[in-house]
Structure 1
Amino acid sequence: MIVPGAITELRSALLLAMGGGWSLAIAAEFLGYSSGLGYLADAAVEQTNTAWLLIGTFIMAAYSLTTFFLLNEGFKKLVSWMPQGAPGETDIEKVAGAAKEA
């Protein structure tokens, strides 16, 4: 019961961790590797090759957006069993209404 209920809360944490992971991987390649997208960006900066830097940026954005989309769609499938509330209705309104009646 606890794990299925926690999936919705884990979604935001895992999406943030994925974004941080992409950032750190690119930064690590930028600083010390001789291959990868970070190396491509570093070489483009050293040679002042703006076209290669933009190409690398678009490739990095495409990879990270694809990863975000796939992870988000996976979480949507995992929580498809959860009931959806009525639009505009929040739990606090239910609680406040019950408190007024008491």
Structure 2
Amino acid sequence: MKTLGQTLIEAVKEAIEHKGKGNIIRPKVDIAEVRKKLGMTQKEFSVQYYIKLQTLRNWEQGKRTPDTTTLAYLTCIALKPKIVLKMLHPRKAK
């Protein structure tokens, strides 16, 4: 049986071997468009979806780009905003 340390070392080696072998597809999300379709101000959107207001502004102004994980989250908001809100605010959804 392998120890935890051995398993972790093997996992790191495997990750290093795969580095650069795949193409990462970054979803395209126009966050300002999504927010406007929802009829929300930047402040309302940032509060409801737990995104720092300045971060949201930076994305919308093109000063910053969300990382891949955040893009996945923003894609969920774009596709199913009510479901995301329900998950984030379960008490309000009742």
Fold match (TM-score > 0.5): no
Structure showing greater radius of gyration is 1
Larger proportion of helix: 1
TM-score when normalising by structure 1: 0.23
